[in-house]
Structure 1
Amino acid sequence: MTSPERTERLVLPGVLTAGQAAETVRGIARVQRTDGAIPWFRGHHLDPWDHVEAAMALDTAGLHERAEAAYDWLAEHQLPDGSWYAAYADGDAAAPADLGRESNFCGYVAVGVWHHYLTTGDDTFAERMWPVVAAATGFVLELQQPGGQIGWKREPDGRACPEALLTGSASNYQSLRCALALAEHREESQPGWELALGWLGHAIRQHPERFLDKSRYSMDWYYPVLGGAVRGAAAAARIRGGWDRFVVPGLGVRCVHPNPWVTGGESAELALALWASGQSDRALDILRWIQHLRAEDGMYWTGYVFEDQAIWPRERTAWTAGSLLLAVAALGGDEPTGTVFGGESLPRGLEPRCC
């Protein structure tokens, strides 16, 4: 895992120079363990979703061997039901820190695998990872409820939690589309997945009552757009409706309203959602604002409490840096990143005709 980074797609005026991008990429690479695992930071836990986000960022910089090692880690440690535990201490698969298995954490491997395939064109990798993606998708869909929404997890004892989170279901919407794209690439029909995707999208767009009320969290505001379920005029209206509530001009995006705390990960994800909905100028503004979270080593602090003018918590996570690089890559025209987040060429599923 020694190939040099390539940062030409990660240069964005006012956000990153080539040197700064390379520094951030190297920061993520330093967090990665020799077995491919990418914890939040060394000494902290790994969760499967953020592990994939960081791996995707490595791919944007051409560190394909490192990204592949991250996916191989997932393949090696996938549980028999297609899932992964919600957390592993410092990425050590022998030391699970949370025995729950969250649906969106498990489904996100499809986004990463499809992104890696689009980046590298490696059919051998795609074939090797297909059983992993198929099993993870099966785990997710076993938690789908009659209304289309996805239950958010299985408890350690195997009991399903039928309650659905809008953010998690919106993430699963993107994951299902990428899983279907991989299936289509293999010329393997998955009509059940297409139906499930259609019902899930319908629930996200038309039935907010089917999800737990987490409207205080900015992710519930922008994730239906980021995940691709809401686009066009509806996306513009959704962004407009929450802008004044969550966006702090010059600083970034609140994680939770009304808390005076902006966070780098949510800000970068909102920038991706803005780009995907045709609001690139606003996306660029957000990315410029959060450069106050950039640390001396090129990584990014998780958040900033602006009433106290204090960085909090005192941590620099691989996934915060990863989400920033993915947003920069999309705005910079990186085609694989644009494909998985823009979503125009991804499968749309079969829309239900009622309910």
Structure 2
Amino acid sequence: MSLLPSEGDLRRTGATIAATQAACGAVPWDVAGDTGGKVDPWDHVEAAMGLVSTGFVDEAAAAYDWLASVQREDGSWPIEWWLNDAGTPEVRDDGLDTNLTGYVAVGVWHHWRTRGEIAAVRRWWPTVVAALDAVVARQLPSGAIAWAVGVGGAADVGLLAGSACLHLALRCGAAIGDAVGDPRPGWREAADRIALAVAAGPDDPAVFDPKPRYSMEWYYPVLGGALRGAAAHARLDSRWADFVVPGLGIRCVDDHPWVTGAETCELALSLTALGRREEAARLVADVQHLRDEDGSYWTGYVFPDDARWPVERSTWTSAAVVLATRALQR
């Protein structure tokens, strides 16, 4: 594991995320590039996890406080904001994505496990409750979670990666409820139903809208904990050759020569959860070619062209590297 980022490396990476944070607490996508002003609730939470993991505790708290302040009455958030010239986020897409809504529970649980500050968790608990209640309200008879809600109503299927991630969010939320003395057994039941749907029919188009070209669809059932044991190992082994590019990372999609840092580190987290630590460490080491001299990370690399693409150093990619490294450090 000597090729993993050092403690100083991680601190510098966290500093680049903190430097990108707006005064209101929102964390945009990009350190410097084409998507510099974009903010979405999922990647904002990922960035907050990267902040607290590198010692930027006040900045992480500010990120959750801001998210709580802009939560809608139904418990959700817009899909996307964009920072205006004054640094204030303005809604660009006011749709509802259930995975973007539920992920706050993962972040708050991570903050609690990292810091042990129950007062902060209690402050954000109403935000988590509203978000996960909004998610559970969109659970389908199949057990999947409808992935989006628009003017025509809710989707009639889930996304495999999104539902698997919500499995994790619901279990984290239930664990937070136990910690603050407000148990939520219904969330665990909803998570159990997702796990059953993932185990029984991950490729059933009546349950999950198929997206097999995306690596996230491959490993997220493991990353989100919906699959464990032999089934989880078999799933990762089944498409390893389709996505893993030795020495560079993993492809975002199976039909393009493009490796991405966040997906690579998420796969490393999945492997770590299964005890496959050597493979995980190798993947995190492999994506260090995406590290910029300031400690931030480029989103991806098109290897036939020897080109960084897109032209962005994304805060959430940096956070994913931090989280995967921390997991390997136990």
Decide: shared fold, TM above 0.5.
Answer: yes
1:55 maps onto 2:48 in alignment: yes
Matched, 1:214 2:211: yes
**What aligned pairs does 1:148-297 form with structure 2 within 5 A after superposition?**
148-155=143-150, 157=151, 159-208=153-202, 209=204, 210-297=207-294
Matched, 1:330 2:319: no
- Structure 1 runs not aligned, ≥5 long: 1-11, 334-355
Q: Who is 1:7 aligned against?
A: none
Aligned partner of residue 147 in structure 2, secondary structure = strand
Query: What is residue 140 of structure 1 aligned with on the other side?
Result: 135
Q: Contact (CA 8 Å) 2:118, 2:180: kept in 1 or not?
A: no
Counterpart of 1:253 in 2: which secondary structure? strand
Match of 1:98 in 2: 93
Amino acid in structure 1 at the alignment position of 2:285: R
Say which SS state the counterpart of residue 170 (structure 1) adopts: helix
Contact in 1 for aligned 2:11/2:55 (Cα 8 Å) = no
Amino acid in the other structure paired with 2:195: G
Partners of 1:203 and 1:180 in 2: CA distance: 20
- CA deviations over 1:224-261 (Å, ceiling 9, x no partner): 00001111111111111010010011111000012110
The one-character-per-residue Cα deviations of 1:76-120 (angstroms, maximum 9, x if unpaired) are: 000000000011103866511111111011101001111111222
Amino acid at match of 1:249: P
TM-score w.r.t. length of structure 1: 0.88
Q: Name the CA distance, whole Å, in 1 between partners of 2:281 and 2:121.
A: 33
Q: 1:26 to 1:166 in 2, by over 3 A?
A: same
Q: Does 1:305 align with 2:288?
A: no
> 1:304 is paired with a residue of what secondary structure?
strand
Give, in whole Å, the separation in 1 of the partners of 2:306 and 2:54: 33
> Aligned equivalents of 1:191 and 1:252: distance in 2?
39
Match of 2:61 in 1: 68
SS of residue paired to 1:149:
coil
One-letter amino acid of the counterpart of residue 126, structure 2: P
Give 3-state SS (helix, strand or coil) of 1:307's partner: coil
Corresponding letter in the other structure for 2:92 = A
Query: Aligned-pair distance for 1:153?
Result: 1.2
The 3-state SS of whatever aligns with 1:83 is: coil
Root-mean-square deviation (CA, aligned residues, Å) is 1.4
CA contact (8 A) 1:77 1:93 kept: no
What SS does the corresponding residue of 1:162 show, helix, strand or coil?
Answer: coil
In structure 2, distance between residues paired with 1:125 and 1:19:
27
Asked if the contact 1:143/1:162 (under 8 Å) is kept, the reply is no
* Map of 1:8 onto structure 2: none
Decide which of 74, 86, 102 is 2:79's aligned counterpart: 86
In the TM superposition, what is the alpha-carbon distance from 1:19 to its structure 2 partner? 2.5
- In 1: Cα distance, 2:146 partner to 2:67 partner: 22
Q: Secondary structure at the match of 1:192?
A: helix
Give the whole-Å Cα distance in 2 for the aligned partners of 1:190 and 1:327: 29
How far has the Cα of 1:277 moved from its partner? Answer: 1.0
CA positional deviation for 1:159: 2.1
Matches of 1:160 and 1:88, distance apart in 2: 22
Secondary structure, aligned partner of 2:247: coil
- 2-side partners of 1:303 and 1:241: how far apart? 24
The 1-side partners of 2:11 and 2:185 are apart by: 42
> Which of 17, 42, 53 pairs up with 1:28?
17
Q: Which amino acid aligns with 1:123?
A: I
- Superposed counterparts of 1:101-120, under 5 Å: 101-120=96-115
The code of the aligned residue for 1:17 comes to S
Matching residue's letter, 1:236: H
SS in structure 2 at match of 1:164: coil
C-alpha contact (below 8 Å) 1:45/1:89 kept by paired residues: yes
Query: Where in structure 2 are there 5+ consecutive unaligned residues?
Result: none
Contact map agreement 1:86 1:101 (CA 8 A) in 2:
yes
Measure, in 2, the Cα distance between the counterparts of 1:31 and 1:158.
36
- The Cα offsets for residues 116-166 of structure 1, whole Å up to 9 and x where unpaired, read as 1122222211111111000000111111100100011112x3721222100
Counterparts of 2:307 and 2:137 in 1: how far apart (Å)?
43
Shift of 1:169: 0.4
Cα separation, 1, equivalents of 2:231 and 2:138: 27
Distance 1:132 1:158 in 2: 26
Offset of residue 63 of structure 1: 1.5
SS in 1 for 2:138: coil
